Amino acid sequence: METANLALTATPRAGHLGADVRGVDLSAPLPAATIDAIGEMLVDHLVLFFPDQHLDDEQQLAFASQFGEPYVHPLGRGSGRPVRCERIVDDVEHPPYQDKWHTDVSWDFTPPIYGTLRAIDIPSRGGDTIWSSMYAAYESLSPAMQQAIAALSATHTMGAAASFISKAGAEAVARARESFPGAVHPVVATHPVSGRRYLNVNRGFTDSIVGLHGDESRAILGFLTDRATDPNVHVRHSWREGDVALWDERCTQHFAVADYLPERREMGRVAVG
């Protein structure tokens, strides 16, 4: 089934999330009605894919900025650099260590709300990105389990530094660790727009559940974070150059498949809060 608003069409890609959006040129400023329509599509589909856009860095930044203030990653704060599109280059010299399920920068006190990715240089095969619905993950739990975790909170930290050092260098990572030692977020959160509940823990950055012994925390976190790996709650995107993805960071997780070395993969990323 297709839904349309103005010239836009959103064609669902999977059962719980993901839609291909056509009928819009992201390189130009969008009318307010189009921004509102895309926002509604995000509520319905969580992840949107815009094919054949071929944006440059400035255009991607301008597009994302129509949905919130540009988010500056903790590794870049204090550098004095202007806000810009971040280039993510994965190759033999800078391997993609971040191939794990995560929500971007959940270890910040105020993580980004929306993320955008743009395909710049794509390997001949592989390099897909997978998203999972944390609504569906939560709703797959029994009512008893939902009740048991309803009041829990968890600590999120930067985790293993290898991926960050590979991209930003040891000095920037050390500064970020000092300024951002971790953040506490509820294990179950409620989306402010949809009103739906979602699991708010991830393998990449959730360290422990507040108030539980270590073995208790590991057991519960392991069970909950496994929900993101269920293919029944996934949508998988095979990138083509020029593709742009826009997603809600709060109620999704994603996984960058690192199966293309020694080939090179380059993406443009802008997040907003």
Catalytic residues: 102, 104, 254, 269
Sign, CA torsion 159/160/165/167:
negative
Instruction: Please give the Cα distance from 171 to 174 (Å, whole number).
Output: 5
